[in-house]
Structure 1
C-alpha cells in the first residue's frame, strides 16, 4: 500500500484529516502536501511574549516554503491554529517526544533552563537562540547571533541603551533582517459573539486599566482614569473599560463614577474578540498591549519603567510617558515611594488619542 509519511497531514497513529473528511488514501491523494523541512520554535514565556514572537511565522513561511512548524509553549491557546502545524504544551510528554525527533531548525527564544536544555538535546541541522552551558547550567548564546539579545537581558545599562524593538532582536537572533512583519493572530471573529451592548455611536476607545501584579509601578490611579474617561466622553468618544478578574473591581468603580461601558470579564478568546471591536486601545505594557498590536489597532501605550524602543507599534499609535523621568527601570516597586505614573497627566494621554484617532468632522 502506498504511504506518504512526508505529507504534512500524515499522523502515523491515527487517520489523517483528509481521510476522515473525504476518505482519501495516500495513493492519488489530492491533498498530498510534502513537507520540505521541519522547524521547532521554543517560546514558553508569558502570553504577551508568545504573541509578539508570531511575526517569525511569516518569515519562516517565506524563507522555507512548505516547512512544517512545531511550537512548544506554556499557552497553546494563544497561538494561531491555522499558521502553526503542531502546537505542543510544555510538559514531560512533549519534551520526551521532541528529543526523539530531528529538525532542520530549532529556535529557542527563552533563557529558562528547561528551554535551553531542550535546545541542547534535540537533534537539528541549525540551532538558534539560547542553549544550556553544560558545566554550570546557565543560559548561553547558541551562536553570536544571540549575543545582542543575551546582553540586553544581563545589564540594565545595555538594555537602556538598546534602540532595537523586541521583534527586530528576535529576527536578528534567527539570522533574519526585520522587514516590519506583522503579528500572526486570530481575531475569533468567527465565534459570533454578541456585542450588542457596546456603544453603537462614537469611536470606541478600549481602556485597559490593569497591568498584572509583577510590575505594579505601571499602575495609573483611578483619578487619572476618571479624568481621561471624562475628556473622551466630552469629545465624543465612547470609552469601553477592559480587563480581567483582577481589574473587575476597579472597572466597576470607574463605570459607576463615569458611566463608561463595562461588560465584565471573559475567557481569553472572547476578550480578544472584544478588543477587536475597539477603534483604538489605551493600555499599559501588558498582555492587552500585545493583543492590541496583534489586532492592528491604533495603540496608545502608557510606559514608564521599560525602554520605549522595545515596543514597535507598527506606525499605529503613540507611546506616552510621565513628565518626570523614571528612575525605576524594570522595577516592580518605586525607589521614590510614589510611582512616576502619577506624573503622567490624563490630558497627555487624551491628546495622544486625539492625534492617533481624530473624530471625523462629519460626526462632531
Structure 2
C-alpha cells in the first residue's frame, strides 16, 4: 500500500503505542493487532502497554520493540502523584506518533492522551461521557457484530483506519529455551520428555464460568478410566489449593499439579508440549489455541461465537439451554451459572472423547 492510500500516512509514523489493559485472555486475542501494526509499519518502534499480570505474554513477541507493564499506583496522595508523574514522564519520552487503545475504559484513554501522540485511535464508547471519546482522533464502530470473534473485534479498530493484516488468528511463538524449561519442570514432576499428556484448566478468575468440583472430579476419573493419560492441572497461584484438592480426590489418576508454578511464558511452552487442552472459558483456552494446541472449551454464560477459538481442531461444549449465552455473571448476576452447574459429565464426554481419541491415534507406536 502506498503512503497516499493510507488514511494515517505511513511516512509520519515511526513510534507506536498499543494499549491493551484487559485481562490475560484479552492480550492473547490482541496479538493480530500487534502483527497488523508491524506489517503496516515494518520499520516503526512498537511499544505495547499491558497490565502487570499479562506482561509475560510479550517476553518473546517478535513484532514489538518493548513492552510496558502497568501496575497499580501506590496509596497516599504524594506517592500516587509521584508514581503517575514518573510513569507518564517516561511514556512521553518515547515521542509516540500514534497511540491505539483497544478498550473503552478511561485509564487507556488517559494513557493515549498523555503519551503525546498526535494520532490516537480507539473505539467509540457509549458511556464515554463528555471527554473520553474526544480524546481520540479516530474512532471505530462500537458494536460487536453477531458471530464476530473478539480477536476480529479488536482488529476492526485498526482495519477501520486502513491498517489491515493477513493474520487474523492469534498466534504466539514459543522459543526452544522456554520449551526446555517446561520440559525440565515436567521431568521434575515425573513426566519424562516425550510423554503425551493433557492439560486441564478448570479454574477461572470468574467463578461463574467454572464447573462444580464434583463434575471436574468425575471428568478426571473418566479420562483416567478410559484413556490412562497423565493430566496436568493448570491455573494461577490462587488456584493451587483447589488443584491439590482435585489431585487428592482422584488418587487413581496420574495428576500433576502445576497451578501457580509457571510464568505465563513458561505456561505457553507447557501447553505447546501437550497434546490437548481441556478447560473452561479462560486465558488458558486462548493461550493453548494461540500456540497451536487442539482445545476443548467448556462454555456457560459467555458467547461461544465471540470467545471460542476458531478452527476444526477446537471443540466447544455447552449445556443445551435457551438462555445461553446470556453474558451475565451468573444467573440473574448471582455468581452461579445453572448452565455450568447442570452440565453433566456425560454431556462433556460425548464431545470430548472423540477429540481425545483423535489425539491418541496420532501418537507414535
Asked if these proteins are the same fold (TM beyond 0.5), I'd say yes
Cα distance in 2 between the residues matched to 1:44 and 1:185: 21
**Selected match of 1:80 from 32, 54, 59:** 59
Q: Deviations over 1:195-249 (max 9, x none)?
A: 123545874221112112xx32212112211221122122223332222233223
Q: Deviations over 1:180-199 (max 9, x none)?
A: 34323446225363312354
Q: Tell me if the contact between 1:40 and 1:103 (Cα under 8 Å) persists in the aligned partners.
A: yes
> What corresponds to 2:239 in structure 1?
247
Return the index of the structure with the highest Cα Rg. Answer: 1
> What corresponds to 2:73 in structure 1?
none
- The SS at the match of 2:17 is strand
Q: Deviations over 1:47-77 (max 9, x none)?
A: 2212221222222222222221111222233
> What corresponds to 2:153 in structure 1?
169
How many equivalent residue pairs? 318
**Selected match of 1:182 from 147, 170, 190:** 170
Q: 1:305 to 1:239 in 2, by over 3 A?
A: same
Q: 1:360 to 1:331 in 2, by over 3 A?
A: same
Q: Tell me if the contact between 2:199 and 2:231 (Cα under 8 Å) persists in the aligned partners.
A: yes
Between 1:45-54 and 1:74-83, the stretch displaced more is 74-83
> What corresponds to 2:8 in structure 1?
none
> What corresponds to 1:15 in structure 2?
none
- The SS at the match of 2:140 is helix
Give 1:327 shift. 5.4
**Selected match of 2:278 from 262, 271, 282:** 282
Relative to its length, the structure with more helix (as a share) is 2
Q: Is 1:118 paired with 2:97?
A: no
Aligned-pair RMSD on alpha carbons?
3.2
Cα distance in 1 between the residues matched to 2:213 and 2:268: 24
Give 1:344 shift. 1.9
Q: Tell me if the contact between 1:80 and 1:186 (Cα under 8 Å) persists in the aligned partners.
A: no
Cα distance in 2 between the residues matched to 1:362 and 1:100: 52
Cα distance in 2 between the residues matched to 1:278 and 1:323: 30
> What corresponds to 2:341 in structure 1?
342
Q: Tell me if the contact between 2:33 and 2:158 (Cα under 8 Å) persists in the aligned partners.
A: no
- The SS at the match of 1:106 is strand
- The SS at the match of 1:266 is coil
- The SS at the match of 1:174 is helix
Give 1:293 shift. 1.9
Cα distance in 1 between the residues matched to 2:111 and 2:249: 51
Q: Which runs of 4+ in 1 moved over 6 A?
A: 131-135, 361-364
Structure 2 stretches lacking a partner, 5+ long = 1-11, 71-82
Give 1:107 shift. 0.8
TM-score w.r.t. length of structure 2: 0.75
Structure 1 stretches lacking a partner, 5+ long = 1-34, 153-160
> What corresponds to 2:330 in structure 1?
333
> What corresponds to 2:181 in structure 1?
191
